[in-house]
Amino acid sequence: MGHDRLVQPLEEEPGSPETTSVMSEAFFLGIDVGTQGVRVILTDEKGVLSGAEQSGINLTDAFRTEQDPHAWWEAVQLCVGKVLEEQPAAVRSRVAALSVTSTSGTVIPLDKEDRPLHAALMYSDTRQEEEGRYCRELALTYNPGGFTAFNASSGLSKILWFAGRYPEKAEQTRRWVHAADYIFGMLSGDFSTTDYTNALKTGYDVAGFRWPSYITEALPVEKEWLQEVVPSGKPTGVLLPHLANRWRLGNVRVVAGMTDGCASQVAAGAVRPGDWNTTIGTTLVVKGVTLNEIKDPLGRLYSHRHPAGAWMPGGASNTGADWISREFGEDLQEMNREAAVLTPTHFLSYPLRQKGERFPFVNEAARGFTDPSISTKGQEFAAGLEGVAYVERLAYRLAEALSGERVQAIYSAGGGSNSDVWMQIRADVLNRPVLKTANASGAMGAAVLAASQTRYSDLAEAAGAMTHIEAGFDPRAPALYEDDFGRFENLLRKKGYLKD
């Protein structure tokens, strides 16, 4: 596979808003509401950034369980205002559309006036484990062809839990919305619409384009609580006049959003069949595009619906980069220098720092391990980088086996992509090129989505114009890690973690 897009330079280097406004016909806002803060970017139709702003959110100690949606909205207004106040009138007049991304599985009950009845139940809230198991049993019984991988992080599990714990508030509920939908509603006034990616974990059948009947017939869920579901990227609203006046904007379309993982995939440029993206943050998340829906009876991979009708399967490992920030944060530069010299280490390490794994294999008893032969901190760090790359290779092998389609290109995003040493290790272990995209953030993905049907004909055309490969990493030698990967796989089997 060649690096076709590496030889396509940007038509304009990022410059001042005054420069880019002359060259560009339209600008787009991307809004990303994360677990601990909000990020907003303004980009032109070529993906050249004109402004960016971020703000933390006032959080309680229980922020991983519940958060105040009003705090999100305040941070969004602050960031959008700061980004736009720095722009000349010529740029503001050309802001054509905006979109929003946020965490998957976070949900909020709204009252008759579309005001939050309760704090948002966060995706990371683990109180809904029992409800998740029950939802999974019902889905497997009544709608096995739809989404069945319910757990505590699923929106439907949280709705069921809330109805049981707060029956008086459930009676006052007008509808349930997802995190991105709440900001979409505050911007457009429409809280009744969501998108394919956000609706998936609330039980929407993205193959049959319907809410399965068991949700309202077998669960204490009212039909009116469920939103209308549209493809991500569909323009369905207009920025409210008082906000347009405050920010000195014209007629700005508000476009149906996406979950944060899918938005990062879009920002990386992985939007065509055969394209895949690995985001290494706290966890390792693999997402791609296939022509056919992946049906995994074990729930390791599940499929979002692509706006153009294809599929966006993905899975998330409990392994990632959290161990680096916790154990090597102060020595990171030195550790990277050592790893560049030490690899291949031939040590076997699996840096899982919690109990249980969910992808690319499911095992609640899984534990991380470190090679007993390791004697230095540098060796431990380098072997850990290799171990995550082995997990990534297992993930792509699983994706190819279940889809019957070849992984054609691997893009990379997240904090892990900032380490050239790790990018090289991954290319060596995967034995194929790994491409790093500039500005591969959720906010950029939202901006590309905003442009996908307002400036361009579809998502592929928008991503082709607005995402740009920053670097490519080729394997240093054929099969450099073949023996070590085989040993790693055999050790997982010996421990009972990986099975045929």
Reported as a single tens digit per residue, the pLDDT across 399-430 is: 999 999 999 999 998 888 889 999 999 999 99
CB 266 within 8 A of CB 284: no
Tell which phi-psi region holds residue 298, choosing left (phi > 0), alpha (psi between -120 and 50) or beta.
alpha
Share of the chain above pLDDT 70, in %: 95
Q: Which residues touch 167 (CB under 8 Å, ≥6 apart)?
A: none
Q: What is the mean pLDDT of the chain?
A: 93
Alpha-helical (H) ranges within 369-451 are 377-403, 420-430, 442-451
**Side chain identity at residue 496, one-letter code:** G
Measured CA angle at 260 (ends 56, 441), to 5 deg: 70
Can you tell me the distance from the alpha carbon of 281 to that of 79, in angstroms, rounded to the nearest whole number? 23
Instruction: Give the pLDDT of residue 416.
Output: 87
pLDDT reading at 10 higher than 80? no
Instruction: Give the pLDDT of residue 2.
Output: 42
Query: Any idea which residue has 């272990």 for tokens?
Result: 429
Q: Given pLDDT bands bounded at 50, 70 and 90, which one contains residue 486?
A: very high
Q: What is the DSSP string of 422-437?
A: HHHHHHHHHTS-EEEE
- For 16, 22, 24, 49, 438, the CA distances from 19, given in Å and listed in that order, are 5, 6, 9, 12, 20
Q: Given pLDDT bands bounded at 50, 70 and 90, which one contains residue 231?
A: very high
Mean pLDDT of 148-161: 95
Reported as a single tens digit per residue, the pLDDT across 42-73 is: 999 999 999 999 999 988 889 989 999 999 99
Reported as a single tens digit per residue, the pLDDT across 319-351 is: 999 899 889 988 899 999 999 999 999 999 999
Reported as a single tens digit per residue, the pLDDT across 347-385 is: 999 999 988 999 999 998 999 999 999 999 999 999 999
pLDDT reading at 227 higher than 60? yes
Q: Taking the CB of residue 172, how many other CB atoms lie within 10 A of it?
A: 13
| SS3 letters across 119-179 | CEECCCCCCCHHHHHHHHHHHHHHCCCCCCCCCCCCHHHHHHHHHHHCHHHHHHCCEEEEH
Q: At what angle do helices 420-430 and 332-342 cross, to 10 degrees?
A: 30
Reported as a single tens digit per residue, the pLDDT across 251-271 is: 999 999 999 989 999 999 999
Q: Given pLDDT bands bounded at 50, 70 and 90, which one contains residue 283?
A: confident
pLDDT reading at 17 higher than 60? no
Mean pLDDT of 159-170: 97
Instruction: Give the pLDDT of residue 331.
Output: 86
Mean pLDDT of 313-322: 92
Reported as a single tens digit per residue, the pLDDT across 429-473 is: 999 999 999 988 999 999 999 999 999 999 999 999 999 999 999
CB 281 within 8 A of CB 417: no
Reported as a single tens digit per residue, the pLDDT across 199-208 is: 999 999 999 9
Q: Taking the CB of residue 216, how many other CB atoms lie within 10 A of it?
A: 16
